[in-house]
Structure 1
Amino acid sequence: MANLETFRQNGDRFNLIRSTALIFVRRFVTHLGNSASQHVKWPNQSASAIISDHFYAKQGLPDVISAIDGCHISIKKPREEIVYCNRKGFTSIILQAVCDDKKQFLDVFCGEPGSMHDARVLRRSDLYAKASRDGLPAGRYLLGDSAYPNLPWLVTPFRDTGHLTGQQRQFNYKHSSSRIVIENTFGMLKGRFRRLKYFENINIGFIVKAVVAACVLHNICINFNDTDVTGQTIGADVGHDLPQVEDEVQEVLDRRQQIFNIVMNQ
């Protein structure tokens, strides 16, 4: 994931030509991508219970297993510039990710163009198909911001139309305070792997593999308690300016209301 100057310097240092260094990096990235399912995966039932307990201890939200959000990975302008140009005016691909309380990735989906709304990215992901069919472990749910739809397994805050009650605002605060872990995780990822802040490579397929590889390495670092990241940027390039998604079906509203009632009556 280094740039060409880094390749040249390292090649000179180890007496390698640039093409050999590129081949090595591509093979390493491919290997990490192929092992992603071993390092980026959903927890088992006992681990899910522990994660849920940790989220509950933060703000009193029950049965939370993780948080979800989308992160923009800046790329060099491709031929299809308009498709990849996001709402902030730069070209990017989107990394959709789910993380636990320890900032460990549980699911990643990468490669959709930057112009795509977070809700549509979600619907195109394997996560949406699997969770819609089977739900999440032990009936738990994700926390997502207002760019996402309310679903039986994904709970978003109350839409602020200017008429929220005091308790609804309090619920939204607890929701946001718990959900911020995914923004911190993205910040740690980009702080650890600076190339994720901008890719000069024009091969979208390779960029996607490199991003997934970085997520794998991030999880390996977390497993070894390596959380000291210099220059960490919290919440970089996440989609808070996206329009809110309308609530969907009554079953979903009942799920959020059920959680709201539990939290407010504690």
Structure 2
Amino acid sequence: MCCHLLLQRTKRLILKTGTEWEVLLHMDEHTFARHFRVTRPQFEYLTMKLQEKGVGREHHQGLPPVPGTKKVLMLLWCMANQNSFREMSDKLDVSQSAAHQIIVDVLQILCTLGSNFVSWPNACEKATPALALQRLCGIPGVTGAIDGCHIRVQKLPVRGVDYMNRKSFFSVLLQGIVDDRGRFLDICAGPPGREHDARMLRASPFFEPWQEKMAAYSVLGDRAYIGRDFPFVVTPRRDNGALTCEEQLQNNKTSRGRVVVEQAFGRIKCMWRRLRDLQNTNIKTVVMMIMAACLLHNMTIADLCQLHPQGCPREDDDN
């Protein structure tokens, strides 16, 4: 009985650590970037763009509004870590329900800014990455690389079995086309994990206007796109054991060029760790988080991952 009362008293004495959340803004540059995955100027730019769209103006039930700056910190903390909303509630002095609602609200606004961060290049802008990729792999006229990536999720309540992929875990697909720097030029997220990459491409918004977008250029793809009637995707020849030396060389070139998209997926999961395992079972929120990670990836593309300056590894990534 005495032990029970002592535990109750101890529980009541636990204090939240986030009452002075402003101290997060006064971290040194290195610590701030390590925790929030953005530099100070990038944080200020993102905050400005979100505040222009109304972040920080609304409040509910007569409570004092949560400052826009705090909401942006919460979003970045959520995307950069795998902490629960309970932990975020303690760290930033908000209730769990408020933390969840703030993240969803800011995600919705951030996704409306997609064209500010992810955009298809015009004719002049395609030339530079095409030259860079030609130097990398020796194939002329390719302006990027395409691939699909599995984002691990919990079993969804609707059509949950459809999200079980060939590797026996539940996932949502992310299709990305990236340039020579690993910057996303086009993204599509949301199809169930069991769907084939080629089928996803055909159903994506990119496919119908591909001739207008690609013009005389192509993108590099893997074996998933072989024989699927995608004239704009340069794929390796299927290895049936009888490839000529020239065909093997071409396959090697394609593989060297495609490394940019593989590195982009590795980096996005390394920097924005929420994508390693999305616990949310609301498909709309899942898709918004994936899109937000891609937008943040492009915003920070010039900054190397501090843990892996030579490129984020994917050896242990079963996605």
> When the two structures are superposed, what TM-score results if normalisation uses the length of structure 2?
0.69
The alignment covers a number of residue pairs equal to: 234
Per-residue CA deviation, residues 155-191 of structure 1 (Å, 9 max, x unaligned), is: 1111111111001000100110111110110000000
Q: Indicate whether 1:146 and 2:223 are aligned.
A: yes
Which amino acid in 2 is paired with 1:74?
R
d(CA) in 1 for partners of 2:274 and 2:241?
41
d(CA) in 2 for partners of 1:85 and 1:176?
28
State the shift of 1:237 in Å.
4.3
Runs of 4+ in structure 1 off by over 3 angstroms are 1-6, 235-238
Flag structure 1 segments of 5+ consecutive residues without an equivalent. Answer: 239-266
User: Does structure 1 conserve the Cα–Cα contact (< 8 Å) formed by 2:82 and 2:273?
Assistant: no
2:178 maps to which residue? 99
State the shift of 1:90 in Å.
0.5
**Matched residue SS, 2:207:** helix
* CA gap 1:5/1:163 in 2 versus in 1, 3 angstroms: closer
Flag structure 2 segments of 5+ consecutive residues without an equivalent. Answer: 1-77
**Matched residue SS, 1:108:** strand
Which amino acid in 2 is paired with 1:147?
A
2:283 maps to which residue? 204
Per-residue CA deviation, residues 56-87 of structure 1 (Å, 9 max, x unaligned), is: 11121101100000000010112323211000
Which amino acid in 2 is paired with 1:75?
V
Pairwise CA RMSD = 1.8
State the shift of 1:229 in Å.
4.7
Which of 32, 36, 45 aligns to 2:123? It is 45
Give me the identity figure in percent.
37
d(CA) in 2 for partners of 1:217 and 1:5?
19
Which of 274, 283, 289 aligns to 1:195? It is 274
State the shift of 1:37 in Å.
1.9
1:84 maps to which residue? 163
d(CA) in 2 for partners of 1:190 and 1:62?
30
Which amino acid in 2 is paired with 1:163?
A
* CA gap 1:151/1:198 in 2 versus in 1, 3 angstroms: same
Name which structure has the greater RCO, CA cutoff 8 Å, separation 6+: 1
State the shift of 1:5 in Å.
5.2
d(CA) in 2 for partners of 1:113 and 1:26?
21
Q: Indicate whether 1:73 and 2:151 are aligned.
A: yes
State which structure, 1 or 2, has the greater radius of gyration over its C-alpha atoms: 2
Q: Indicate whether 1:127 and 2:206 are aligned.
A: yes
User: Does structure 2 conserve the Cα–Cα contact (< 8 Å) formed by 1:41 and 1:107?
Assistant: yes
d(CA) in 1 for partners of 2:269 and 2:183?
14
d(CA) in 2 for partners of 1:220 and 1:207?
20
1:16 maps to which residue? 94
Q: Indicate whether 1:28 and 2:106 are aligned.
A: yes
* CA gap 1:57/1:17 in 2 versus in 1, 3 angstroms: same
Which of 242, 252, 269 aligns to 1:163? It is 242
